[in-house]
A and B are shown apart, each in its own frame.
Chain A
C-alpha cells in the first residue's frame, strides 16, 4: 500500500522491508542461540520489534518529509503516516468499512443532490453579464399583490425617470402558433421584449444576432425573431440555414435573425421562452389585449410582465427601490383612478426569478428536501459514531499500549479522526454517483409553481462539489470526534490487563445511549413527516374534488392563434364534438373555457344579485366558465338541482346560468336558487341549475362562486383557449390519441397546447407532495433501518461487554430472561426520551410543511400514534432479539474465555 506522492522513491518501501526482515532474522537467530525454539524465537523477535507495518509507515513518512528537521514538513509527513495507518486499519475490517462507506455514500449523495437542487433553484445566476447588477421591476396590483403587470406608459415613465438604472427593458409573454411550409405547426411560448432587452442583459447570440433597438418598430411584414437554442435544436434540427429564413407566427411572416446561446433560457425558473420578438411586432400577431392600439396609451391596460433594469455602478437595490416608490407616488397623483393606487416592486435578479406567487412555496420546498436528507445524514452519523465507538473500544488495548509507550493523546485522536474523515471523504466521493442518479430520478418531478426539476439543470457544479467536500469532512469529524475522545481516555491499567468489565465503561455507555436516543428522535421525525405526506397523497388521490376524474381525456387548443373568427371557432368545435360523439366508446364530449384543476383560464367578473344585500366591503365576484352542453356529463360533475347546460342554450334563447353549490348557498341560503336572476353587466341570467362545488386550482381549494354560462352565447370565447373534454368507457389514454387525430383531421395546423388525462392533471397538482412522499418515505425507511441497526448494535455490544457479569449471574442461577429484561430496562429511558423528543420535534417541524399537506393536519394524532407505535415495536425487536441471542451462550464457556 504505497502512497504515490511526488519526490517519493518507489523502491524505498522495498528497502525498508528488507532491512527490517534482516533485523528480525538476525534477532530470531540470536534468541534461538539463547535456547528458544524457532517458533518462540520468531514470536519474541516480532513482539520486541513492535508493529512492523506501523514502523515501516513511520520510516516512509520521515523519508517523505525529507530535508532538515523541519516541523512543517514532518507534520505533513505525519499526516501522510496517519493516512496510511487509517487505510491499513480500515482494510483490516472490511465489514465495518463496507457498512460505513455505503451509509455515507447514501447520506452524502442525497445531501449533494438536494443541495444541487437548492443551488440551481435559488443561488444560480442566469448566464447574463453581472447578474448582481440586475433588478426585476413589477407594478403591484390594486390588491397589493407585489409582482403584477405594468402598463406600457408606466413602463416608459419608469424607464425615463429611474436615474439609478442604466436602462430598463420590458417584456411580455404570449403564446403563438409557429409554422412554416416545411415543418408543420407547433405551439410555442414567446417573449415579446423591448428593443434594448438583450443589451440590458448583456447576452450574445450563438448564431446570427439578437434583437436590437432598431428592430422594435412596427413595420408590417418586417418582423424579426430570435430562437431559443432548444427550439432551434428540436424544431429546426439545429439547421444553421434557418437564420435568415422566414417563418410564420400566427400566420404573420417573421424573419429568424439569430439563435441564443444554449445556456440562456430566460430569466424565470418556470418560464423558458421558445423565441423572442420585438414588442412592437408582438401587437401584430396578438388577437388578444396586445392587438389593440390603445394598449400603448392606456395606464389601465397592464400587460407587461417582468421588466429588467441594470443598476448604475455602485447603486444598491434599496436605493433603486426607493427611487421607484417616488416614481410611482408621482404617477399615483398624476393619473389617479386611471392608474390606480399601485406601487412598484423591485427585486434583485441575482438568481432566476421564482414562479410568480409561489416564491415562498418553492423556497420552502427545496429547503425542506435538504432538511430531510440532512436529518438522515445526522442519523447516519449517529450510527457510525456508534460503530466507531464500538470499534474504538475493542481497540482499547492497542490505544492503551500506545499511550503507555508515550504516544501523545493528541496524536491518537488525530489518527482516529483521520480514519473517520478518510471514510467520510471516500463516502462523499462515492456519494457523487448517488447524487447524479438521484437527480436523474427526480428529474421527472416538479417543484411547486410548475418548475420541472429537470429544467433546473441541477448538477455537480463547483459550489455543489465544495458543499459535498465540506459536508464530508464535517461528517467525518462529527461521527469520529465524540467516540474518539472517549476512546483515547481509557483506564490504562484495566485495559492492559484485558479486563473487559463494567465499571470503567460507564461513560461510553452513556454516550451510546445518547446516540440511541438521538437516532430514535430523528427517525421518528422523518417517519412522521413521511406518514403525513403519504396520507396527503392518499387523500389527494381519493379527495372529494366534486367530480370523478376517471375516464376523462383533455385536449386544449387555441384557435385564435390561427386567426379563426368566432363563428369558425364554434363551427370547428361543433364538428369536432360530433365526430367524437359518433365513436361508440365516447360517453360525453364538451368544449369549455376551463375544466377543474387547470392552470389559467380564470375569468373574474363582478355581478349583482337582485335581492341580496352585500355587507359594505363585500365584493360580489364570480368566476365565469363558458361551457358547451354535456359539460357536466363529460366531467362527471353532479348537478344537484335543476339542469346543466343543454344544446338548446343558444343565442336568442333565454340567457341562463348554472351556478356552484356554494354560490347558491351564499346568495340564497336555505332557499332554492332555481329561477333567480344574476346580473352580469347588462345581462340578466336566470339560474337553471346548481352544480356540485369542484376543486379548481388545488385540492384544498376553498369552494368558490362559479357561474357556468353557455359557450354558444359567448361565441368570441371560442377563439381563446378551449379545452375539449371527452369521457369514455375505455382507457382515457387511448381517447387522447383519438382527440389528437380528430383535431388534426379538421385542422392540420391546430396548435394543441396540452393533451392529457384528467387523472394526470390531478397528479400534476400533487407533484410537490409526491416528491415529498417519495423522498420522505425513502429516507424514513432508511432512517428506520439505520436506527434498527444502531439499537441492535448497542444491545449486542452492551451484552458482550457485560459477558462476564452475565456469565457469573447465570452461573449463579439467574434466568436469561431476567438478564435480557435488565438490558431492555437500560434502553427504556433513552428510547423513551428519544420518542418524546421526536414527537416534540415533529410537532414543531411539521408546521413548516403545513402548506403542502392536504386532508391531514400537521399534528394528526393518528399518524403520530401509528408511527410511534411502529417505531416502538421495531426498537423492542431490535433490543430483544440480539439480547436473547447474546445471553443464550453457555456461562461456563464465557467464564473460561475470561
Chain B
C-alpha cells in the first residue's frame, strides 16, 4: 500500500480534493464522498480512517479537536500547504496518465 501504486492512493486523493473546500470532520468527509463518488466507500466506510491517518502522517492534512455545532467533541481536518502541492502534482500525474490511456484507447486500430 504505497503511494506509487496506481490506484491505491485514490481514496487519499479524493479526501484531499474534498478538503480543498474547507475544514471538515471525518463524518463530514465520509458523507461528501458517499454523495459525490459512487462506491469509493461502498464496501467499507471505515477505510476512510486509515486513509486520513496516512495523510496526516505524511503531513498533507492536519487534524484538530474541536466542538461541532451540536456541542460534540470531534476532530476536524484541513489541508496543509504540502497537501495542496501534493494534490496539485497528483492531479497532474492523473491527467497525464488518463490522457495517455485515452490516447491509446482512441487510437484507431
Residues of A within 8 A of B (CB): 15-16, 18-20, 22-23, 26-27, 30, 48-52, 55-56, 58-59, 62-63, 65-69, 71, 74, 78, 405
Contacts and interface: CB of A to CB of B under 8 A. Distances in A.
Nearest to A65: B57
A59 B50 contact: yes
Interface string B1-13: 1111000000000
B45 A51 contact: no
A59 B4 CA distance: 20
A74 B2 contact: yes
A62 B54 CA distance: 6
B102 interface: no
Contacts of A19: 26, 49, 74-75
B25 A22 contact: yes
A26 B50 CA distance: 19
Contacts of A22: 25-27, 72-75
Nearest to A22: B74
B91 interface: no
B47 interface: yes
B72 to A, nearest CB: 7
Nearest to A406: B43
Contacts of A16: 49, 53
B58 interface: yes
Interface string B43-76: 1111111101110111000000100000011110
A407 B90 CA distance: 24
A51 B44 CA distance: 8
B45 A26 contact: no
B5 to A, nearest CB: 10
Given A69-B3, A69-B58, A50 B26 contact: no
B83 interface: no
5 contacts: A16-B53, A63-B53, A68-B58, A71-B2, A74-B2
Given A62-B57, A69-B58, A55 B47 contact: yes
B58 A50 contact: no
Given A27-B45, A49-B45, A15 B75 contact: yes
B27 A27 contact: yes
A20 B58 contact: no
B75 A59 contact: no
A58 to B, nearest CB: 4
Contacts of B50: 55, 58-59, 62
B49 A51 contact: no
- Of the candidates A67, A68, A69, A71, the one having the most CB atoms from chain B within 10 angstroms of its own CB is A69
Contacts, number: 77
A50 B53 contact: no
Interface of B: 1-4, 25-27, 30-31, 43-50, 52-54, 56-58, 65, 72-75
A511 B29 CA distance: 48
Given A22-B72, A67-B57, A68-B58, A48 B45 contact: yes
Contacts of B73: 18, 22
B44 to A, nearest CB: 4
Contact of B46 (A20, A63, A66, A74): A20
A67 B57 CA distance: 6
Q: Among the interface residues A19, A55, A69, which one has the most CB atoms of the partner chain B within 10 A? A: A19
Contacts of B27: 22-23, 26-27
B40 to A, nearest CB: 12
A48 B48 CA distance: 12
Contacts of B49: 16, 19-20, 23, 55-56, 58-59
A27 B57 CA distance: 26
A66 B57 CA distance: 6
Contacts of B45: 23, 27, 48-50
Most buried by B among A18, A23, A56, A58: A23
Contacts of B52: 59
A49 B2 contact: no
B3 A405 contact: no
Contacts of A23: 26-27, 30, 45, 48-49
Contact of A63 (B3, B4, B57): B57
Among A51, A62, A74, residue most surrounded by chain B Cβ atoms (within 10 Å) = A62
Contacts of A405: 43-44
Given A18-B75, A23-B49, A68-B58, 20 more contacts: A15-B65, A19-B26, A22-B26, A23-B48, A26-B27, A27-B30, A27-B45, A30-B31, A48-B44, A48-B45, A51-B46, A59-B53, A62-B50, A62-B53, A62-B54, A62-B57, A67-B57, A78-B1, A405-B43, A405-B44
Nearest to B30: A23
B43 A52 contact: no
Q: B27, B43, B48, B75: which has the most chain A beta carbons within 10 Å?
A: B27
B2 to A, nearest CB: 5
Nearest to B25: A22
A74 B54 CA distance: 10
B57 A52 contact: no
Nearest to A15: B75
A67 B1 CA distance: 15
B26 A55 contact: no
